[in-house]
Amino acid sequence: MTDDPPLNPALLPAGFVDVLPPAAEAEASGLETLMRVFATHGYDRVSPPLLEFEETMLTGSGAAVAEQTFRLMDPDTRRMMALRPDMTPQIARIAATRLAHEPRPLRLSYAGACVMMGGPARDTDRQILQAGIELIGPDTPVADAEIVALGAEALQVLGVPHVSFDLTMPPLTTALLATEGLTPTARSALLRALDRKDAAAVARHGGALAPVLTELLHAAGPAHRALDVLSRVSLPDAARVHSDRLAATVAAIEKRVPGIRLTVDPVEFRGWQYHTGVCVSVYALGRQEELGRGGRYRSNDDEPACGLTLRPDVILRVAPPRARRMRVFVPWGMDPRVGQALRAQGYATVAALGEIADPAAEAHRLGCAFVAVGGKLEPVQGAAQAG
């Protein structure tokens, strides 16, 4: 990697990577496992294209990511196309157009790569993998709970330990701040203070809201403690609606997934640009990076919707490694049925492409754990014989 970049054929743009063996297969297999869980719950897969006209992709829920989006010109129509930074707006578009006449609730799933411009930090992924679900039509705590429950089940099937679902209710903060006649300057100072969880600044900029906001700021944590604080503080009706909905959603989630680890941060709002209800971030305990996120929003044509997008690429970093196929070297001239039988048993066969003087040495060189000898497997010295 010391060559001048233009001459180094291994150089990729920052944020783009080659996924190599065995990670590439683990990632693909993990993604399909997530999709299988979604399919068993009646979520039908759709697959939108990588590129769309920017006017359709970057409107509605897509507007939030417009500035993160690569654009290129369609030579056919001379109109600009966008390379998708997120699939959710595409699913919303499909639900509102091609699937507008399908019965509701409409349950859709999707998976694919997304690309975003990224910031100047060179360590941010610019190509990510998404695998998600959208539940379009109902606007109820039970619908919110189904989304969270499917995320929990999918992560459990992959064996991800210590998963936590962190709930927020962005419109609650919005409603609370709207009750005070804050100037735009004061409002943005207060939002910044909340965003930084800076209690002193919240007290300074909060005016009459300072006591409630400070209490809610400190309430973030396990769901029941946070809901308890929320139930005790004095909230205007416009905010109480959201607080009640949050409590009902927590109850619906816990009913569907007993023992789920839920936290609530009542005044968190950052990163939830187009959301209108309960939002969720998924974490593995002790890990910084989100495994997924989702929440309630208004889909195209103002239809209620909620969804969850998991990140198979991130999840595979915290999930236990899968057993790889054991490799068996099959010497030249072996009856083809030997290889067939081995593959049917789950082995990967590596066929000799000609006579090999020392099959065991060749097997070792090619990373095989066994050599097929007649109908038997001979272990290769020094190779791991367990997956």
The span of 159-167, 171-179, 184-192, 340-348 binding a copy of itself (CB under 8 A) equals 340-348
The span of 43-51, 161-169, 213-221, 272-280 binding a copy of itself (CB under 8 A) equals 43-51
Residue 331 within binding range of a copy of itself, rule CB under 8 A: no
Residues facing residue 301 across a β-bridge: none
Minimum distance from CB of 342 to a copy of itself (Å)? Answer: 8
Minimum distance from CB of 263 to a copy of itself (Å)? Answer: 24
Pick 106 or 175: Cβ nearer a copy of itself: 106
Binding-site member from 187, 261, 287, 343 for a copy of itself (CB under 8 A): 343
Minimum distance from CB of 242 to a copy of itself (Å)? Answer: 20
Round to whole Å and give the CA distance between 37 and 371. 37
Residue 157 within binding range of a copy of itself, rule CB under 8 A: no
Token pair of 245 as six digits = 């909905």
Is 37 in contact with 157 (CB distance < 8 Å)?
Answer: yes
- By CB under 8 A, the residues from 110 to 129 that bind a copy of itself are 111-113, 115, 117-118, 120, 122, 127
**360 CB contacts (<8 Å, ≥6 apart)?**
371, 378, 380, 381
Binding-site member from 66, 70, 331, 341 for a copy of itself (CB under 8 A): 70
**176 CB contacts (<8 Å, ≥6 apart)?**
209, 212, 213, 235, 236, 239, 267
Residue 382 within binding range of a copy of itself, rule CB under 8 A: no
**297 CB contacts (<8 Å, ≥6 apart)?**
61, 274, 275, 276, 277, 305, 306, 307
Pick 59 or 179: Cβ nearer a copy of itself: 59
Is 60 in contact with 32 (CB distance < 8 Å)?
Answer: no
The span of 108-116, 212-220, 224-232, 282-290 binding a copy of itself (CB under 8 A) equals 108-116
- By CB under 8 A, the residues from 288 to 327 that bind a copy of itself are 300, 325, 327
Pick 53 or 161: Cβ nearer a copy of itself: 53
Residue 39 within binding range of a copy of itself, rule CB under 8 A: yes
Residue 63 within binding range of a copy of itself, rule CB under 8 A: no
Is 229 in contact with 265 (CB distance < 8 Å)?
Answer: no
Q: 3-class SS at 348?
A: strand
244, with CB counted inside 10 A (0-12, 13-18, 19+), is middle
